């Protein structure tokens, strides 16, 4: 006589809570939103994203309801983090808890973490840097001073001794298909109003902080020999762009002087920003999120690093340029763009950079393959969480 079949008891999905405070307008929520989506879509993790600024969130994700205390967006539960949350039950605590960039979790949530059995895996997801010291700090534990909780530091980075970078599973496939289809690229850019001559020009996306020498660069492009189409998101370098246009730089505005045409674009969803980077010949990016996306675009890029006290950002910039093995023209322009050295006459600096663009395209492809060999951040983070659970440390 055969035995009856055992009932199927599927393993419940892993739950994860990600806490984000928006400090730099779009970079913080940009990184956290990419991470949350990848966790949910590729790894079947049930994600709750706590975020304090829903208005900034909606700029990069239009479906977000800025008035909702709780909502589901693209398979992720989004909760408005008001900073006044009270007590939590241990059952409300996720299996994995991530604080982005050392934000302070709600005290009631931390207390519930200590009461939960088994206790959650707790990560501090740090900011990106190419400096060598992160390899010694990556995965280090930190004991809570009062509670029986251990937090681990997890650093993104560019080497196998770090956590890698955010990179979705099908990103390269989508990029290659898009960049290989001239008609698709033209349709995408035409949606912003670009004319056929603008499509044929050297296309540059410009995303930077206000203190960048944008006015000098626009003047160099305008007086140059080759046509340039500059695409800048609304609100970026508004003073310099407005002065070039002779009017307020609003989304949809366009002006041409000499060899340069500047178009002001609306902020777009993250997927469209990726396509913008893919469609341009050169990308100026800032902060961390667009910096990483520019590396996956396979195009030359200039990074405007977030400024820090005592010019610590210059040290971080030099560390990246050294690790990137940046060709001389790229290193010189990058340092000058960030005020770490004298850029000299902008027309000369631009001519040197433009002449190096074919070499920089090759270097960009080499770098992308080099960094991808270390795996992506999301998968690496979940694998580390799994080893902590199996090892009995904060088991879930």
Dist CA 11 CA 228 (whole Å): 55
Residues pairing with 258 in the sheet: none
Cα torsion angle, 241, 246, 248, 254, sign: negative
Is 52 a known active-site residue? Answer: no
What separation, in Å, do the N-terminal and C-terminal C-alpha atoms of the chain show? 39
Integer angstrom CA distances of residue 219 from 263, 350, 396: 15, 11, 58
Measured in whole angstroms, the distance separating CA 20 from the mean position of its chain's CA atoms is 14
Which DSSP state fits 339? T
User: Using omega within 30 degrees of 0 as the cis cutoff, is the peptide bond preceding 118 cis?
Assistant: yes
Could you tell me where the beta strands, DSSP code E, fall in the chain?
A: 15-20, 46-51, 70-73, 76-80, 96-100, 121-125, 141-143, 150-154, 202-206, 228-233, 254-257, 260-265, 282-286, 301-304
Contact in structure between 248 and 264 (CB atoms under 8 Å) = no
Contacts of 357 (CB under 8 A, 6+ apart): 281, 282, 300
Residues pairing with 282 in the sheet: 204
> Residues 53, 95, 198, 288: which is the catalytic one?
288
Residues pairing with 257 in the sheet: 260
Pair of tokens at residue 305: 């690093």
Closest CA to 261 of 213, 227, 312, 298: 227
Which DSSP state fits 376? B
Dist CA 163 CA 139 (whole Å): 9
Backbone angles phi, psi at 257, to 5 degrees: -135, 125
Is 28 a known active-site residue? Answer: yes
In three-state secondary structure terms, 41 is helix
Active site residues: 28, 288
């Amino acid at each position: 006589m055969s035995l009856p079949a055992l009932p199927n008891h599927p393993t419940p999905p892993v739950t994860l809570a990600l806490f984000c405070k928006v400090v730099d307008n779009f970079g913080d929520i940009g990184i956290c939103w990419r991470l949350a989506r990848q966790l949910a879509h590729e790894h079947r993790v049930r994600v709750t994203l706590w975020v304090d600024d829903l208005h900034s969130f909606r700029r990069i994700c239009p479906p977000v309801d800025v008035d909702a205390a709780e909502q589901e967006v693209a398979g992720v539960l989004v909760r408005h983090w008001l900073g006044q949350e009270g007590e939590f039950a241990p059952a409300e605590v996720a299996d994995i808890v991530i604080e982005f960039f050392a934000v302070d979790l709600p005290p009631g949530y931390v207390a519930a973490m200590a009461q939960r059995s088994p206790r959650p895996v707790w990560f501090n997801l740090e900011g990106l840097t190419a400096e060598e010291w992160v390899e010694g700090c990556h995965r280090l534990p930190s004991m809570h001073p009062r509670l029986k909780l251990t937090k681990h530091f997890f650093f993104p980075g560019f080497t196998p001794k770090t956590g890698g970078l955010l990179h979705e599973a099908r990103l390269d496939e989508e990029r290659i298909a898009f960049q290989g289809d001239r008609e698709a690229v033209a349709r995408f850019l035409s949606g912003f109003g670009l004319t056929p001559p603008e499509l044929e020009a050297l296309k540059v996306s410009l995303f930077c902080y206000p203190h960048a020498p944008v006015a000098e660069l626009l003047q160099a492009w305008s007086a140059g020999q080759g046509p340039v189409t500059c695409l800048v998101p609304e609100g970026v370098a508004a003073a310099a762009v407005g002065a070039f246009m002779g009017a307020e730089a609003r989304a949809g505005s366009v002006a041409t002087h000499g060899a340069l045409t500047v178009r002001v674009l609306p902020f777009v969803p993250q997927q469209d920003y990726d396509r913008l980077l893919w469609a341009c010949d050169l990308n100026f990016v800032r902060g961390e999120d667009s910096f990483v996306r520019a590396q996956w675009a396979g195009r030359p890029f200039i990074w405007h690093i977030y400024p820090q006290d005592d010019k610590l950002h210059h040290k971080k910039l030099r560390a990246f340029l050294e690790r990137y093995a940046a060709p001389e023209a790229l290193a010189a322009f990058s340092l000058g763009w960030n005020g770490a050295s004298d850029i000299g006459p902008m027309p000369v600096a631009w001519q040197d950079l433009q002449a190096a663009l074919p070499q920089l395209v090759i270097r960009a492809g080499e770098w992308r393959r080099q960094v991808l060999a270390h795996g992506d951040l999301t998968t690496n983070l979940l694998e580390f969480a799994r080893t902590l659970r199996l090892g009995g440390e904060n088991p879930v």
